Amino acid sequence: MENLVGLLRIHVKRGVNLAIRDISSSDPYIVVHCGKQNLMRLLNCWSKLKTRVVKHSVNPEWNDDLTLSVTDPNLPIKLTVYDYDLLSADDKMGEAEFHIGPFIEAIKFAHQLGPGLPNGTIIKKIEPSRKNCLSESSHIVLNQGKIVQNMFLRLQHVECGEVELQLEWIDVPGSRGI
């Protein structure tokens, strides 16, 4: 893929206080994709990926790794939570969006500083605002030699729910790089 910039590993940790869509619980899973729902933009980005379904839980523990091929780091990443239904269409349980631009800036900055940063060093802190879906401060840190971003996203267009993620950038030899 000649336009490949790198890979983004999204560790989908868990959901917290998700909406109930069945009688007393839900069977949630998450679909992740980039950009808008416009087909042409989707073709210029990467395919959508999804977690496994966790049965009967509004506080699911996924611990699933989804790896996206990034061709345009300026496009937002969108995740949608669904309730799996066997006999009818799956119910939407909310959605959230985030940008990887600040994460990529922090990676570039850390590379400029060079090796020797102690484990646990906070490289950048991003505060929740009306312009993002963060429900609390997000830290980009050096963790065991890797730069990761931890985030809690508040789901939109739903009565309640948050999703916890961890991002990790993977450089690919021969790609355009960041």
User: What element of type H or E holds 79?
Assistant: strand 77-83
3-state per-residue secondary structure call for 128-178: CCCCCCECCCEEEEEECCEEEEEEEEECECCCCCEEEEEEEEECCCCCCCC
Q: Report pLDDT digits (tens) over 40-72.
A: 344 445 458 999 999 999 999 999 999 988 888
Determine the pLDDT at residue 71: 84
Distance, C-alpha 87 to centroid of its chain: 29
Mean pLDDT computed over every residue of the chain: 89
Name the residue ranges covered by the structural domains of the chain: 6-170
The DSSP 8-state label assigned to residue 85 in this structure reads: -
Residue range 19-23: mean pLDDT, rounded: 93
Share of the chain above pLDDT 90, in %: 62
* Arithmetic mean of pLDDT, 122-151: 94
Residue range 6-170 forms a domain whose CATH class is: mainly beta
CA atoms of 60 and 28, how far apart (whole Å): 7
- What are 83-108's pLDDT values in tens digits? 999 999 999 999 999 999 999 999 88
Q: What is the predicted pLDDT for the residue at 37?
A: 45
